[in-house]
Structure 1
Amino acid sequence: MTRPQEHSDLPQFTLGFPGPLRDRLVSAVLCGAKTTTTSLLTEYERGGEPLPRAGRRAVLPDSADRPVAVIEVTGVRVVRLAEVDPAHARAEGEGHTTVAAWRADHETFWHGPDLRRELGDADFSVDDDTPVVLERFRVVERLPDGSGAAPGS
């Protein structure tokens, strides 16, 4: 991916895998509906990555790996899956009105072949005690054409 020079030092903030799901999630971020996301703690542990922290900025790519926005993490919590609250679920911007609906959707993703392949565990599954990373974020800059040009320039 070619990033604007001013953002080349920022990590990526990827949502889902490239394709329709990522397209929907990125669109929800850009329109302001999505201000939280949930990851599995094991994804960070297995990848040797540090947990996100408030104040961290990252580039949000679309499915074509073009940078579309810069986001800033505003809060991070690690909780058991059973402790995800309704406010977090709604703020994910995917139209879930209950934690049960949010969880069913997320379990479908987490138990899907793409994530299991990424984790290297064909039998991976989650339960109430699975640690999840809840991130709250905000868009600090939109990169509408993927070039890094400011809107209106």
Structure 2
Amino acid sequence: MTPEQSSYWQAFCEATGHDRPPEDVFAFGDSPGLADELLALVLADRKKATASHSRWHELGEEPLPRPGDLALVLDGRGKPACIIRTSRVDRHPIKDTTEEFAWAEGEGDRSLSWWMDAHITYWTREAAREGYAFNTGQDAIFHRFDRIWP
């Protein structure tokens, strides 16, 4: 963590009595603009879920979230913005995503159709960058969370 991120985490720990480091420190998305856009949804308590391709966890690129985990969420410039607590984690094929999960993600018009279009575009872009073929039969990690601070 940067000094600014560490100070933010320390302030959280002092205010809440928490005494361990975060399980993850991350920004949503793959660009500063997308990170800020998705963070705004979290701060408005509209976004309470996210999905990540299972490949990133299998390769050790991202830690696999577990219920109760705390994460420090960053904005698009890497500055600390809030802390979330994982409430539920599921793994299943992307094609089996539900309307309810799409709604919990809080993006776009919150429909499953919008969610699929946006995530297929995102994961196809990531797959091209990383050199693998993407399809909706592949698994994703479906992560539900609550913003707990501020």
RMSD: 1.9
The answer to whether structure 1 residue 125 and structure 2 residue 134 are counterparts is: yes
Kept in 2: contact 1:76–1:136 (CA 8 A): yes
Matches within 5 A, 1:92-111: 92-111=105-124
Give how far 1:51 is off: 1.7
Kept in 2: contact 1:18–1:64 (CA 8 A): no
Kept in 2: contact 1:40–1:131 (CA 8 A): yes
The answer to whether structure 1 residue 19 and structure 2 residue 35 are counterparts is: no
- The runs of 5 or more residues in structure 2 that have no matched partner are 11-20
One-letter code aligned to 2:133: F
- The runs of 5 or more residues in structure 1 that have no matched partner are 143-153
1:17-58: per-residue Cα shift (whole Å, max 9, x none)?
Answer: 232211110000000010000101011111265421000001
Question: TM-score of the superposition, structure 2-length normalised?
Answer: 0.82
Kindly indicate which of the two structures has a greater share of residues assigned to helix: 2
Structure 1: distance between partners of 2:128 and 2:72:
25
Matches within 5 A, 1:1-153: 1-2=2-3, 3-5=5-7, 7=9, 9-10=21-22, 11-47=24-60, 49-112=62-125, 114=126, 116-117=128-129, 120-121=130-131, 123-127=132-136, 129-142=137-150
Alignment size in residue pairs: 137
Structure 2: distance between partners of 1:108 and 1:79:
19
Give how far 1:115 is off: 5.5
The list of structure 1 runs, each at least 4 consecutive aligned residues, that deviate by more than 3 angstroms after superposition, is: none
Structure 2: distance between partners of 1:92 and 1:46:
24
SS in 2 for 1:23: helix
Kept in 1: contact 2:108–2:114 (CA 8 A): no
Kept in 1: contact 2:68–2:86 (CA 8 A): yes
Question: TM-score of the superposition, structure 1-length normalised?
Answer: 0.81
Structure 2: distance between partners of 1:56 and 1:43:
18
1:42-100: per-residue Cα shift (whole Å, max 9, x none)?
Answer: 11111265421000001000001001001100000001111110010011111234312
1:96-148: per-residue Cα shift (whole Å, max 9, x none)?
Answer: 34312211110111111x5643xx31x43122x21011010011102xxxxxx
